[in-house]
């Protein structure tokens, strides 16, 4: 980072030099070294971009990671068996032939479609991820349903029709068990095998909560997109600094609840499924959606504790999240030129950047059973 005029290619060339100096780098496949350099370059580029745009707050200075929990291969360094149930890694670490356990079938895809393979270490074992280049599109039956959603803590989201989805509060439900396991970790002697076992159990409990959260978000986003022709939500990028998630979590009274609800993950999956089902998904700025009346437009200021919207001008009374969702839908419809609004209800591909048809990359994940052997041979 201290050298000027150094780019991504120079960083990849440095990998060959490091391979001659360090034995572990020499054993690693050349494309795996390049993939590691790519990730380092992304961190460096992200830091410089934040500096050039004068981003407020921390700029994201790249930090050295002592322990890596994943190794990424591109198109070499690995080989799949004929029945696609085993994978063999052919680099200098000699991990050998590993069994793949999972429900997905790799036989549907050619080897040329597999662009990347990752070995990931998690709390409950080793996983192999396959990044496959394939166009995923699911036929969608257009129903003409337009919906705007407002995410929150009282409800996971409220739509413009007044329907709500309850907030599961998964972390709160598992909090008692997590605290108990955390106490057991603290009671164990540092460096002992019992402490290592306790840490492993604690990590598995956190991993379970994380998976439950992702499972809920994915299923909820898919159900919402599948039943609609237009989904409008609030963009994280369009929020004012006070309403951005990274700043909202600084509130010590709400930080745990905000982190547990995963709004950003939810909107990311809405964008993904909008491309898969070929519908409109529009992100709008949240300005005044919590204060303006959805009927007459009068601005009614209210505190965060005020959960009911009461308009003194037209007499409208409704839940504040329902009122905000209706305003979000209206802003989304108005952001589209009037000549294109008829595309909401047709099978014609909408000419809108957030939902362009693209080649989608998705992950196939398998659990590896022979963990002890992989640990011994890779030195992990």
Residue 342's pLDDT is what? 60
Q: Name the pLDDT band for 243 (thresholds 50, 70, 90).
A: low
pLDDT at 360 over 70: no
Phi, psi torsion values for 340, nearest 5 degrees: -105, -5
133 compared with 239, residue with greater pLDDT: 133
What 14-20 contacts at long range (C-beta under 8 Å, 24+ apart), as own/partner pairs, is none
The Cα–Cα gap between 37 and 8 comes to 8
Q: What residues does 80 pair with on adjacent strands?
A: 87
> Mean pLDDT throughout 86-108?
83
190 compared with 374, residue with greater pLDDT: 190
Residue 62's pLDDT is what? 86
Task: Give the pLDDT confidence of 188-214 residue by residue, as tens digits.
Answer: 999 999 999 999 999 999 999 999 999
Residue 65: closest CA among 36, 91, 93: 36
Give the chain's length. Answer: 380
In the chain, what percentage of residues exceed pLDDT 70?
Answer: 85
Residue 353's pLDDT is what? 37
Task: Give the pLDDT confidence of 251-276 residue by residue, as tens digits.
Answer: 788 888 888 898 889 999 999 999 99
Task: Give the pLDDT confidence of 77-94 residue by residue, as tens digits.
Answer: 899 888 888 888 888 887
- What is the strand order of the sheet 360-368 is part of? 70-73, 114-122, 125-134, 360-368
pLDDT at 248 over 70: yes
pTM (2 d.p.): 0.82
């Amino acid at each position: 980072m201290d050298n000027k005029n150094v780019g991504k290619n120079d960083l990849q060339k440095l990998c060959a030099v490091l391979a001659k100096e360090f034995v572990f780098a020499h054993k690693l496949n050349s494309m795996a070294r390049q993939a590691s350099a790519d990730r380092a370059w992304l961190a460096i580029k992200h830091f410089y971009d934040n500096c050039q745009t004068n981003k407020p707050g921390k700029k994201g200075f790249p930090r050295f990671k002592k322990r890596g929990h994943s190794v990424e291969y591109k198109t070499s360094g690995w080989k799949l068996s004929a029945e696609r149930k085993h994978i063999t890694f052919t680099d200098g670490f000699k991990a050998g032939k590993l069994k793949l356990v999972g429900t997905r079938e790799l036989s549907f895809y050619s080897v040329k479609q597999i662009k990347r393979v990752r070995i990931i270490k998690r709390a409950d074992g080793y996983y192999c991820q396959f990044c496959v280049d394939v166009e995923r599109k699911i036929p969608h039956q257009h129903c003409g349903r337009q919906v705007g959603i407002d995410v929150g803590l009282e409800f996971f989201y409220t739509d413009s029709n007044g329907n709500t989805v309850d907030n599961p509060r998964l972390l709160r439900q598992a909090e008692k068990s997590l605290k108990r396991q955390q106490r057991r970790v603290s009671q164990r002697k540092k460096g002992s095998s019992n402490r290592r076992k306790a840490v492993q159990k604690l990590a598995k409990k956190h991993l379970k909560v994380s998976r439950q959260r992702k499972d809920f978000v994915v299923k909820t986003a898919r159900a919402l997109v599948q039943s609609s022709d237009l989904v409008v939500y609030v963009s994280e990028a369009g929020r004012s600094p006070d309403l951005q998630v990274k700043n909202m979590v600084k509130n010590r009274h709400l930080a745990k609840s905000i982190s547990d609800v995963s709004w950003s993950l939810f909107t990311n999956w809405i964008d993904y499924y909008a491309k898969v089902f070929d519908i409109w998904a529009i992100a709008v700025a949240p300005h005044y959606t919590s204060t303006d009346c959805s009927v007459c437009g009068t601005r009614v200021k209210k505190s965060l504790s005020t959960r009911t919207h009461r308009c003194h001008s037209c007499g409208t009374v409704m839940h504040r999240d329902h009122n905000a969702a209706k305003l979000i839908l209206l802003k989304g419809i108005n952001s589209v030129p009037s000549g294109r609004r008829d595309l909401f209800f047709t099978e014609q591909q909408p000419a809108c950047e957030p939902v362009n048809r693209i080649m989608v990359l998705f992950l196939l994940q398998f659990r590896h059973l022979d963990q002890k052997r992989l640990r011994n041979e890779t030195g992990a």
